[in-house]
Structure 1
């Protein structure tokens, strides 16, 4: 049992206690944010803002620039999403859950490609192409950028991007020495699957308009 514990948490031996506590707090709020998203509750955004702001600080401190950029983008998109989710499309209805339009699919592809390009340039500037993880980071960053944009617009396809990115992130963060964050992504994967099913049910139960 002690071998398993050491495998999971020995990497924290050189970390400041405050940073470990902050990571745990960020993880808790991150899980709450995904839970509220699954439940289609506006609290997805304030809890997400708390989580991402802490992660921006920690990841910058630890030199994980790509991961920091993801969370900085999450922070900005949480503010945007908060606005979209509370915006009424008429006097009675708020922005509903829906499928992506053809135009939004094209925008998603463009956003994915642009993100790859921007992250590549940033990694070049900071000389971060020193490990195979940088290439995986670039790919997951693009996935999460699209997923967050679609979630802010209340599009059901956001969950597909989250599921793929979360599955990749579980072993990736463990390899980086962030066990609590790796565990968070296990929870994210489960919640994302249930989130997709819940949103799909909401769309199926919504009254159809001609």
Structure 2
């Protein structure tokens, strides 16, 4: 059986029916976010697996723009995997901050990217909500910061979730909306973990410098 056909197999969770691809996409997505909250380098291989699964699902549904974006996320995840390993080490506890200027530049880049994506998606689909383009653009900005172990990445992921939840709920995708509520909770957990770790590292660095 082809991989795409295998992912289309239906499974039931109580009264909820979904495909195996959906279930694997949800499971690997949740695992990736949880590992990121723990600052584990293993979030990257699981993120790649998640993007590959979703890419195949989207490609089978002829959603070429969505499938293409998953390729971008695979590339970014692979880049982050290498960066964390080379610059920080597999078990590093180092985290980085950003300046207000950096965030303003990134915000401008994210908004510009969202406008461009909206135009492209409208051409490919005939119609695409601006919020979808915003979600994608901000996700790319968040991933870019995550690759650099910047605590600010969590604020961007939280913003993505806050936009995604009402969008998916309004379209009747209740299971996906609930999934993003869970992801939102994990993001707040990850933000606290990274902030706590960053604060604990700062005094140690000051002592070693002295």
The TM tier, using the shorter chain, reads 0.7 to 0.9
Q: Does 1:168 align with 2:168?
A: no
Question: Equivalent of 1:199, from 189, 194, 198?
Answer: 194
Instruction: Give the structure 1 partner of residue 34 of structure 2.
Output: 35
2-structure distance, mates of 1:102, 1:172: 29
Instruction: Give the structure 2 partner of residue 123 of structure 1.
Output: 121
2-structure distance, mates of 1:117, 1:101: 25
Structure 1 stretches of 4+ moved >6 Å: none
When residues 69 and 184 of structure 1 are mapped into structure 2, their CA distance, relative to the original with a 3 A threshold, is: farther
TM-score by length of 2: 0.78
Q: How does 1:3-82 map to 2 (within 5 A)?
A: 17=10, 20-62=19-61, 64=63, 67-82=66-81
2-structure distance, mates of 1:64, 1:176: 17
TM-score by length of 1: 0.78
1-structure distance, mates of 2:158, 2:196: 18
When residues 159 and 23 of structure 1 are mapped into structure 2, their CA distance, relative to the original with a 3 A threshold, is: same
When residues 67 and 166 of structure 1 are mapped into structure 2, their CA distance, relative to the original with a 3 A threshold, is: farther
Q: Deviations over 1:148-193 (max 9, x none)?
A: 1111111001111111111221232344454443332111100000
Count of matched residue positions in the alignment of Structure 1 and Structure 2: 192
Measured after TM superposition, the shift of residue 208 of structure 1 is 3.3
Consecutive unaligned residues in structure 2, runs of 5 or more: 1-7, 12-17
- Bigger Cα displacement from structure 2, 39-48 vs 115-124: 115-124
When residues 27 and 182 of structure 1 are mapped into structure 2, their CA distance, relative to the original with a 3 A threshold, is: same
1-structure distance, mates of 2:63, 2:179: 17
Consecutive unaligned residues in structure 1, runs of 5 or more: 1-14
Q: Deviations over 1:105-137 (max 9, x none)?
A: 35523430342243033224314325xxx2110
